[in-house]
Structure 1
Amino acid sequence: MSSRRRFYARPLIATAASLVVLTGIASAAPAATPATPPAATLDDTYYQNALGKTGTALKSSLHTIISDQTKLSYSQVWDALKATDQDPANSSNVILLYTGRSQSKSGNGGDVGDWNREHVWAKSHGDFGTATGPGTDIHHLRPEDVQVNSIRGNKDFDNGGSAVSGAPGNYTDGDSFEPRDAVKGDVARMILYMAVRYEGDDAFADLEPNDRVSNGSAPNIGRLSVLKQWSQEDPPDSFEKNRNQVIFDRFQHNRNPFIDHPEWVEAIW
């Protein structure tokens, strides 16, 4: 497997100026952007019991905190993604994760050219499918082009490979997928969220990152060392922070702690 080191600019995406109101079918009418609470406020309330901890103690505390959530059905995910991933410049569209393309919210489905629901933690890694729980957790579900989603499949994440057709800046080979630079950190933080949220105590597998690829159906995804690097090189931007807030305010009412505290990646792993 080849590897490359590339330097890149932060994406020029402004904080979302509007969000849709979901009433079963997404509306294009703009609504006020939810305000992200200051870190100090979150630390005084939501993360209070995690402060000052590291390693397994921090991971355990965060697991307890973020496990308090509202669960969605798989069909509800469609409308949720139309709000969480809304294009800040066009309230009728969503931004696709790997391609970065802005596409009509109504263009979702299973046909060529549609967008569908990408499980960033591949659902076969732990065999949870689309079951309510990890299979419907929108902290790791993102809109993506049907064909690009298929190319990624259930591959682990790593650097290297050949260019992905229709998705500039993405690369893949036989056992791994490398997303475009602008969302590398997003991918890493989604994977690590899943590893903290699902610890094997709720009828689902204990999901854990490791430093391998070709994990198959094991409840693991790699490559951890690369994911940690991606999280450092691509810190949370306004789009990712807003997405975290929308999930908290309107849907699951839990947060991805690695968006609020990126330093906790190193504190745990």
Structure 2
Amino acid sequence: MPAPRVRRWKPLALTAAVLAGITVPATATATASPTTAPAPLAVGAYDDTYYKDALGKTGPALKSALHTIVSDQTKLSYDQVWDALKTTDQDPANSANVILLYTGTSRAKSASGGDQGDWNREHVWAKSHGDFGTATGPGTDIHHLRPEDVTVNSIRGNKDFDNGGGAVAGAPGNLTDGDSFEPRDAVKGDVARMILYMAVRYDGESGFPDLEPNDKVDNGSAPAIGRLSVLKQWNDEDPPDAFEKNRNQVIFDKYQHNRNPFIDHPEWVEEVW
């Protein structure tokens, strides 16, 4: 594989938040002075409730606490995933459509299926990495299931994530080669946080595989996916935007009733890994 490239990009415009119906707090401004104390870190909306047992922890202790928290969820069937994605990934500008993960295009909700031109259910943590298929649990967890064009989904296949490769036909900004896939810049962080959520949520209990990220590609059917170093880079460079935050909230409120902690606290990625 070629050496990872470092990219920088600007956060998505706040208009996406308005379209998604999300209130974005105004940023306070003040004249700096030598005696001004640093502003305190923002406290998450769920820190004193949902995440209270994770606060103050780091490393394995934080991962264990987050696993316990997010494992309390309502599970969906694979058929129920179709309808769920029509809500979680609804186009903020057109309620009849969903936004596709890799292409970023808006497509009719009614165009779900398996034919060319349809969208289907992309397992961001490829289901063959751990051989969990579409069984209720990791195979139906909508924190890592996203709508995607059938052809582009097939091109991604079960490849690991890494930088580099050639352009993906029909999906500008995405790259791929024989053993890896690089998503477009605007969803690199989304992909990373979905993968790392899965590694926290599924740790070998209840008959499910112990999913773990590693720093390799071509993992095959092992319950592992890479590259961790690149995923961490993507998490840093593409922070959660309004669409991703809204999606997390909809999953929590309407479907699984659990959250992706790395959307609420992206800094926890470095604390765990």
> TM-score, length-normalised on structure 1?
0.91
- In structure 2, what is the Cα distance between the partners aligned to 1:145 and 1:189? 21
Whole-angstrom CA distance in 1 between matches of 2:257 and 2:99:
22
Contact 1:120 1:141 in 2 (8 A): yes
Task: Answer yes or no: is 1:96 the counterpart of 2:100.
Answer: yes
State the partner residue of 2:139: 135
Contact 1:39 1:260 in 2 (8 A): no
CA distance in 1, matches of 2:180, 2:44: 38
- Counterpart contact for 2:262–2:268, Cα < 8 Å: yes
Q: 1:82 to 1:236 in 2, by over 3 A?
A: same
CA RMSD of aligned residues (A): 1.5
Q: Name which of 181, 187, 192 aligns with 2:196.
A: 192
Q: Is the 8 A contact 2:128 2:158 kept in 1?
A: yes
**Residue of structure 1 equivalent to 2:17:** 15
% identical aligned pairs: 78
What is the Cα deviation at residue 201 of structure 1?
Answer: 1.1
1:232 to 214, 220, 236: 236
Q: What is the one-letter code of the residue matched to 2:152?
A: V
User: Paired residue for 2:5?
Assistant: 4
> 1:26-47, CA deviations, whole angstroms, 9 ceiling, x for partnerless residues?
xxxxxxx5779x9444010000
Largest Rg, 1 or 2: 2
Which letter maps to 1:167? Answer: A
Once residues 22 and 208 of structure 2 are traced to their aligned partners in structure 1, the CA distance between those partners, rounded to angstroms, is 32
1:173 to 155, 170, 177: 177
Match of 1:22 in 2: none
Aligned to 2:34: none
Residue 85 of structure 2 is aligned to residue 84 of structure 1: no
* Corresponding position of 2:72: 68
Q: Tell me how far 1:16 sits from its aligned partner.
A: 6.3
SS where residue 121 of structure 2 aligns? Answer: strand
Moved over 6 A (4+): none
Distance in 1 (CA, whole Å) between partners of 2:43 and 2:186 is: 23
* Residue 264 of structure 1 pairs with residue 264 of structure 2: no
Count of equivalent residues: 254
SS of residue matched to 2:270: helix
Q: How do 1:208-247 residues align onto structure 2 when only pairs under 5 Å count? A: 208-247=212-251
* Corresponding residue for residue 28 of structure 2: none
Please, which runs of 5 or more residues in structure 1 have no aligned partner? 19-32
What CA distance in whole angstroms lies between the structure 2 residues aligned with 1:110 and 1:60? 38
Deviations 1:135-169 (A, max 9, x none): 00000000000000000000000000000000000
SS at match of 2:120: strand
